[in-house]
A and B are shown apart, each in its own frame.
Chain A
Amino acid sequence: MVRSLDNLTFQVEEGEVFGFLGPNGAGKTTTLKCVMGLIFPTSGTARVFGRGIDDVQMHQEIGYLPEQPYFYDYLTARELLDYFARFFGYSAAEREDRVAHFLERVQLTRFADVQLRKFSKGMLQRAGIAQAILHEPKVVFLDEPMSGLDPIGRREVRDIILELKEKGRTVFFSTHVLSDAEMLCDRVAVLAGGKLQGIGSPAEIVSIEVHGMEILCDIAAGRQLPAALAAHAVRSGNRYRIQVPEAQLYGVLDQLRDSEARILSVAALRPTLEDYFIQMVEHPKGAPPAAASAGEQP
């Protein structure tokens, strides 16, 4: 039996933007489906604001965008949002206002009365985001919200996430796009092989180890970079970028001073979130390699 999720335990704080990272088959969608009550874990549970996932009232406070969403294609975007709004007990007038507002928010007003069967993937994604935030939930779960969107659409989704954060909402989103995670998230979790590989702020995650130091300097015309350093340097005109182990930093700086080099910057070399992600995916903690591509069964 393949375990899609194994001993996965973490907590998302109220009001934070939380990124859920992992390769295909890592278990991101499975986790979200468990929280939504679409599938059931063999053991364990999830709670949202203290309510269990089997508590239907919990769904009053959450919004969910499934991965690659698909909706009733015989409905128009306006009808779809009106249909979903009915489950939250709004009056007809409230529904009308709310639907118009959120169609505008995802730039679908022009297509409000077009049947969804005529929508592109990106437009369906926008409709999906609108239905997820229609009732202004306290927590929004977005499964690959940038998927299928063009650069403008991605920026709009980023803006929506930031807007939700400004309003004090909690946003939990899974993504492959690490730059989005670095840009938006207060904290991220990395999942591989169904196991949690790391959790923390993007800065904490990438601060786990310092690879070395990078010195940027200019060498005056007629002067030479010490031969011992030349092997570690990349030259561009008079400018040198030198990478050295942290322990050798002061020695190298002394050599550069002797060479009358002009030091422009000294910076620690840290792995990017992408480096961390790739490292975790290639060498997940305690998981066999096959598990990373396993199916979505808990």
Chain B
Amino acid sequence: MMAGTVAINTFREAVRDRVLYNLIFFALAMMAAAVFVGQITIGIERLVIINLGLTAISLIGTVMAIFIGVGLVYKEMEKRTLYSLLAKPVRRWEFLVGKFAGLVLTLAVNTALMTLGLAAALFYVTRGFSRADTSILVAVYFILLELALVTALALFFSCFPTPMLSTLLTLGLFVAGQFSTALREYGHVAHNRALELLLGAIYYLLPNFHNFNAIGAVAHGDAIPGALILHNTLYAVLYITVVLLGASAIFANMDLK
């Protein structure tokens, strides 16, 4: 209830700060790509449009999640808007969950609208939809899970008083998380037990963003296994819960200067 109220206000803030203006850029890019791809490609229009569209959705969403996310708590502390809010019957963790949910809601609306744009561009290029196109929604769902995870990390670092460092740490974890599978594989071939254990531990600690990337498979018309959908959902929920618990533990005892 309390978290929901905070979430709606966070969404309203994002909308009023014209965050969704990025959609105009995305719409223009998709329109240009649709026209351009139609002219220069033969037979792979679908692949190019889906690749381009989903990559843009993921990229724009990630930039929003990081740059808005690291300011979620920091801005409230810096501007002292938190003082009046926390004097109300709101627990600190409810505030954090509300901020998280508000940004995820913003990203979901943004992603949904971009997906509509992608669908329009795809329809324009291929003159229709095929059954395989439904897997685009699975890829979009994975992107949303990824964005929620990035938001949780950004929120965690937002509790620290230096937004630049928070941005770098979130960005660093995001990049490292893209290559965490490679780390483990390197450990397997290193023939050094200690190194293998260390890299294995890092692999399990780092968020694994690699598994959320289904863009290539969807573009090629491959079906996404149901087990992967379940795995990614559980993984994201668990990881987000742990990160939010950590953020709550830190924020619960933080002095607001």
Within 8 A of B (CB), among A111-140: 128, 131-132
Return the CB mask of A10-49 against B: 1 if under 8 Å, else 0. Answer: 0000000000000000000000010011111000000000
Given the contacts A40-B253, A72-B13, A74-B17, A64 and B89 also touching, CB distance less than 8 Å: no
Residues of B within 8 A of A33 (CB): 83, 256
Residues of A within 8 A of B13 (CB): 72, 74
Check A211 for interface membership: any CB of B closer than 8 A. Answer: no
Check B132 for interface membership: any CB of A closer than 8 A. Answer: no
Given the contacts A33-B256, A39-B256, A40-B255, A87 and B81 also touching, CB distance less than 8 Å: no
Contacting pair A60 B89 (CB below 8 A): yes
Check A59 for interface membership: any CB of B closer than 8 A. Answer: yes
Give the docked Cα–Cα distance between A70 and B80 (Å): 6
Q: Which residue in chain A gives the minimum CB-CB distance to B15?
A: A74
Contacting pair B86 A70 (CB below 8 A): no
Given the contacts A39-B255, A72-B9, A84 and B84 also touching, CB distance less than 8 Å: yes
Check A256 for interface membership: any CB of B closer than 8 A. Answer: no
Q: Which residue in chain A gives the minimum CB-CB distance to B82?
A: A38
Check B189 for interface membership: any CB of A closer than 8 A. Answer: no
Q: How many residues of B contact A (CB 8 A)?
A: 25
Check B91 for interface membership: any CB of A closer than 8 A. Answer: yes
Which of A57, A62, A69 is B83 in contact with, Cβ under 8 Å?
A: A69
Return the CB mask of A227-267 against B: 1 if under 8 Å, else 0. Answer: 00000000000000000000000000000000000000000
**Distance (Å) between the CB of A114 and the closest chain B CB?**
14
Q: Quick one: which of B16, B82, B84 has the most chain A CB within 10 A?
A: B84
**Distance (Å) between the CB of B211 and the closest chain A CB?**
37
Residues of A within 8 A of B88 (CB): 59, 84, 87-88
Return the CB mask of B73-117 against A: 1 if under 8 Å, else 0. Answer: 000000111111111111100000000000000000000000000
Q: Which residue in chain A gives the minimum CB-CB distance to B80?
A: A70
Q: Which residue in chain B gives the minimum CB-CB distance to A59?
A: B89
Give the docked Cα–Cα distance between A87 and B256 (Å): 21
Give the docked Cα–Cα distance between A211 and B84 (Å): 44
Check B2 for interface membership: any CB of A closer than 8 A. Answer: yes
By size class, the interface of chain A is: 35 or more
Q: Quick one: which of B87, B89, B90, B253 has the most chain A CB within 10 A?
A: B87
Q: Which residue in chain A gives the minimum CB-CB distance to B83?
A: A66
**Distance (Å) between the CB of B82 and the closest chain A CB?**
8
Residues of A within 8 A of B16 (CB): 74
Within 8 A of A (CB), among B211-257: 253, 255-257
Given the contacts A40-B253, A87-B5, A56 and B90 also touching, CB distance less than 8 Å: yes
Give the docked Cα–Cα distance between A89 and B81 (Å): 21
Contacting pair A87 B83 (CB below 8 A): no
Residues of B within 8 A of A74 (CB): 12-13, 16-17
Residues of A within 8 A of B257 (CB): 39, 296
Check A86 for interface membership: any CB of B closer than 8 A. Answer: yes
Give the docked Cα–Cα distance between A161 and B81 (Å): 24
- Top 6 nearest A-B pairs (CB, nearest first) are A64-B87, A66-B83, A39-B255, A74-B16, A59-B89, A87-B88
Report which B residues bind A (CB closer than 8 A). Answer: 1-2, 5, 9, 12-13, 16-17, 79-91, 253, 255-257
Report which A residues bind B (CB closer than 8 A). Answer: 33, 36-40, 56-57, 59-60, 62-66, 68-72, 74-75, 83-84, 86-89, 128, 131-132, 141, 296-298
Q: 28 pairs across A/B with beta carbons < 8 Å?
A: A36-B86, A37-B86, A38-B82, A38-B83, A38-B86, A38-B255, A56-B89, A56-B91, A59-B87, A59-B89, A64-B84, A64-B87, A65-B84, A66-B87, A68-B80, A69-B83, A69-B84, A70-B79, A70-B80, A72-B13, A74-B12, A75-B9, A75-B12, A87-B88, A88-B88, A89-B1, A132-B84, A297-B255
- Apart from A36-B87, A39-B255: 10 A-B pairs, beta carbons within 8 A: A56-B91, A62-B87, A64-B83, A69-B80, A70-B80, A72-B9, A87-B5, A89-B1, A141-B87, A297-B255
